[in-house]
Structure 1
Amino acid sequence: MKNSRALVMLAFALLAGLAAVVLASRWLLQTSSSAVTPVAVAAGAVNLGEPLTQGQLRTINWPTGSVPPGAFTDEKALEGRVVLASLAPGEPVLESKLAPIGTKGGLSAVIGSGHRAITVRVNDVVGVAGFALPGNYVDVIVNTQQAGKTDTQQSISKIVLEKILVLAVAQQVSRDDTAPKVVNAVTLEVTPDQAEKLDLARSVGTLSLVLRNQVDKQTPSTDGATKLTLFDMPASAPVAEPVHPVRAKYAARPAAKRDCVGVLSGVTGSVECF
């Protein structure tokens, strides 16, 4: 009798424990599912200006309280969108890193609104020894001939454009590479006014790029460097025009009045003045 009661109590305890485990697991499952949100992330590395495809995306569970603003929960909404910045594997795809809907892939997708892309020819010196990489900022210097007031020309170097974004070097647009690359062309992002200045500058002289700090926003005004300012020479005085001597004009003086008398000698006559 006692054994049967013990067996009943043991069976009841086992059933109660099993029910508690099932209820606890259900509660944890419901709690965990409500605390996470599916977020679309990059399945692998995605380069700048590249359109997204289904194979480049995957969905992971992200804590609901820390979902980044602009994240996507549906991978299909991202198909064909072009990225404006390189994505690392597992990085969430955000609206702020995407070009507007309908934008085609390539360099044109990363050009800012109201800006243009212009390419200038460079060499290992002009291109800052290959350290002018996509994503860097440069100043543009032109060296040309400056006409003086006396119709003489002198060389001058002047910064014509400041804080210009490098979009690409040759055909490379990736901003993740930090190794210097010596190329023969650099593509810059400029406004229409700056594009006109740059096109004129490269037609009247030679260009040089000056690499600058990416966070430096100062734009000091300069007068340009000439041979005179380079060697600290004073500006030459204006050449005075030669003075030609004025020749005096002499007027014929009238003959002085004299007293004259006629002299008759025989058959001949003459006039004598004194």
Structure 2
Amino acid sequence: MKNIRALVMLLVAAVAGLGAVAMASRWLMDRSSGMTAKVAVAAVDINLGQRLNTEFIKMVDWPSGSVPPGAFTDGQVLDGRVMKNSVLRGEPILEGKLTPVGTQGGLSAVIGEGRRAITVRVNDVIGVAGFALPGNYVDIIVSTQQDKGSDKGSKDESISKIVLEKILVLAVAQEVGRDETKPKVVNAVTLEVTPEQAEKLDLARSVGTLSLVLRNQVDTATLPTTGATKFTLLGASAPATASAPAPVRPVRAHYAARPAAPRDCIGVLSGVLGSVECF
């Protein structure tokens, strides 16, 4: 009899414990559900210029107090939007990383307002051994012949000069992904420039050879240079240009009247006539 009573007490205690655990678990779930929100994040790595669809997006629980500004709580509104920046898997998709509504995908979607994209041909040396990747900034150097003027005796001089600074690399070849860190040797690089810079760059590649100079991404300093010539490269001073000869001024002759030289005179008598002869 005592054993049955003990078993009943144990059974009642077990049921009560299970009920307490269930109630505590439900309370915690209700409390946690009120402290989180659904946020749209990238299901895979997404490159700039790509158009989003349901395969690129997943909804995850995010603490309500730390939802990033511009985050989306409905993944359906992102269908068809185009990325302006690259995002990694698990990273929230924010409004600031998207192009305006209605923008078509591709490289044209990531070109800044008032900017243009221009492609220049490069090789493994000009392209900084493949380290000029999308998202990097470069300077442009042109190597050409400097015009010395219209003098027939003067000769054009070789010069290398930085003509453009802090130019954004949009794409290398046909790739626009910015999350790559390995160098890629390609034959073309697409740069983002202003219309004025596009004109200067097009002229530079037609008159000389272009080279890319990789620069620090956070370095915004502009350093004006005079260019390097053969004489500055070797540490010699440039030869002085021959000055034009001074014009010859005409010499005006001044004539002064000279007094008549004194002469000797004698009187000559011829019959009854007389005369004076001077010599």
Deviation at 1:81, TM superposition (A): 1.0
Could you list the runs of 4 or more consecutive aligned residues of structure 1 that deviate by over 6 angstroms after TM superposition? Answer: 1-12, 243-251, 256-260
Equivalent AA in structure 1 for residue 37 of structure 2:
T
- The residue type equivalent to 2:23 in the other structure is L
The answer to whether the aligner puts 1:164 opposite 2:161 as a matched pair is no
Change (3 A) 1:78 1:240: closer
1:147 paired residue number: 147
Which aligned pairs between 1:225-244 and structure 2 lie closer than 5 A? Answer: 225-242=228-245
TM-fit CA distance, 1:187: 0.5
Residues 1:216 and 2:219 are matched in the alignment: yes
Give the distance between the partners of 2:179 and 2:9, measured in 1 at CA. 68
- Provide the residue aligned with 1:37 in structure 2: 37
Task: Indicate yes or no: 2:82 matched with 1:82.
Answer: yes
CA distance in 1, matches of 2:124, 2:14: 81
> Equivalences for 1:1-274 in 2 at 5 Å?
16-17=16-17, 19-148=19-148, 151=151, 152=154, 153-242=156-245, 274=279
CA 1:122/1:6 → structure 2, altered by over 3 Å: closer, same or farther? closer
Structure 2: gaps spanning 5 or more residues: 266-276
CA shift at 1:247, angstroms?
8.4
How many residues align? The count is 269
Give TM-score, length-normalised by structure 2: 0.80
Letter in 1 for 2:141: I
Distance 1:235 1:149, change over 3 A: farther
The equivalent residue for 2:271 is none
1:248 Cα offset (Å): 8.6
What amino acid sits opposite 1:233 in the alignment? A
CA distance in 2, matches of 1:18, 1:142: 80
Per-residue displacement from partner, 1:159-210 (whole Å, max 9, x unpaired)?
Answer: 1111111011111111122222222211101112211221222222221111
- Cα distance 1:6–1:189, how it changes in 2: closer, same or farther (>3 A)? same
Identity of counterpart residues, as a percentage? 66
Q: Over residues 22-60 of structure 1, what are the superposed CA-to-partner deviations in whole Å (9 max), with x where a residue is unaligned?
A: 432321121121122111122222222111111221112
**Alpha-carbon offset, residue 18 of structure 1:** 5.0
Matches of 2:23 and 2:187 in 1, distance apart? 70
Letter in 1 for 2:214: L
* Distance (Å, rounded) in 2 between the aligned partners of 1:191 and 1:89: 33
Give the TM-score of the pair, scaled to structure 1.
0.81
Distance in 1 (CA, whole Å) between partners of 2:126 and 2:11 is 87
1:107, distance to aligned residue in structure 2 (A): 0.5
